[in-house]
Structure 1
């Protein structure tokens, strides 16, 4: 996997996919500064670990989930190194049988593909179909990182700026405190 060793500030000068351009437009409209690293597709947390060393910050895990009936959708942001157990999130949200949502729903509501999802794509969920859920430990850091519509770039911004972005695009997060399965003996 190739990672450009340069850490950029601001949007790229070359043409990008429309979703990525729309995210940069919104960040500029809101005057939210960010740093950016460009790289080959980073579709796994292992890829993201390599990007972290260039970006200078942790990359969070973003999981697109739904209920069994596929009528309620959730975007979970959590620490990238923390294992995920659906039973903990289901219990805290008061819903049963959460599972990974189909790629078609991700495309329909967030205009992205698996491996590229982040809170930045909530810009495209104008009907409010996706509920953002943030695991509290993620808020311990000063910055949060994510892909801007496609996993060939990663942006890092101040935590407060990302939360302001999410609110500006019409989403209010739910905060949860998911136990770490490694500490409960379930990992």
Structure 2
């Protein structure tokens, strides 16, 4: 596991502009509302999923959408999905729930987890994600997140993510 130090080395090595914001630990999108109010850019949430065929998926979407899990498999090319467990998350991406980020793919073996990015996030100039811990947020462009994922040997799926209407 390369961890946050490896992440910072890669950001510097690829001259990726970014800004790190330190803050109290947050575990849910709701808990991060105050942080979101003070940081410009897109904010994210991450779903660690396992499909009916046994494959793992890390899906990163805008924080304010409700993902339609019934329609998601068709959009990303897999079978029915359910949430993965904390033990598999730790084993595969080296993080516990509450700290999940697409940047965790720095720790993932090639082919162990398929990362999915919402198409809108990839196009965003500023995307806020955890830098492998939930006591900070790092802001960088969607294109640079994509570039890092590819550098680490992953082939992200970029898709419009199906959403549920707010109830």
Q: Would you call these one fold, judging by a TM-score over 0.5?
A: yes
Q: TM-score, normalised by structure 1?
A: 0.81
Match of 2:71 in 1: 88
- Unaligned 5+ residue runs, structure 1? 1-17
- Once the 2 structures are TM-superposed, how far is the Cα of residue 23 of structure 1 from its aligned partner? 1.5
Q: Distance in 2 between matches of 1:83 and 1:76?
A: 12
Q: Distance in 1 between matches of 2:123 and 2:76?
A: 21
77-86 vs 27-36, greater mean Cα deviation: 27-36
Cα offsets for 1:4-53 (capped at 9, x unmatched)? xxxxxxxxxxxxxx722222122122221211111111111012221122
Q: SS at 1:165's partner residue?
A: helix
- Once the 2 structures are TM-superposed, how far is the Cα of residue 74 of structure 1 from its aligned partner? 0.6
Contact 1:62 1:76 survives alignment (8 Å): yes
Structure with the larger RCO, 1 or 2 (CA within 8 Å, 6+ apart) = 2
- Aligned residue among 141, 164, 167 for 1:181: 164
Higher-Rg structure is 1
84-93 vs 166-175, greater mean Cα deviation: 84-93
CA RMSD of aligned residues (A): 1.8
- Once the 2 structures are TM-superposed, how far is the Cα of residue 97 of structure 1 from its aligned partner? 2.4
Q: Please identify which structure carries the higher helix content.
A: 1
Q: Distance in 2 between matches of 1:30 and 1:105?
A: 30
Q: Distance in 2 between matches of 1:92 and 1:180?
A: 11
Alpha-carbon distance change, 176 to 52 in structure 1, aligned in 2, over 3 angstroms: same
Aligned residue pairs total 166
- Deviation above 6 Å: which 4+ runs of structure 1? none
Contact 2:122 2:143 survives alignment (8 Å): no
Q: Does residue 155 of structure 1 match 2:138?
A: yes
Q: Distance in 1 between matches of 2:77 and 2:143?
A: 27
Q: SS at 2:43's partner residue?
A: coil
Match of 1:67 in 2: 51
Contact 1:65 1:101 survives alignment (8 Å): yes
Match of 1:168 in 2: 151
Q: SS at 2:31's partner residue?
A: helix
- Once the 2 structures are TM-superposed, how far is the Cα of residue 140 of structure 1 from its aligned partner? 4.5
- Once the 2 structures are TM-superposed, how far is the Cα of residue 173 of structure 1 from its aligned partner? 1.2
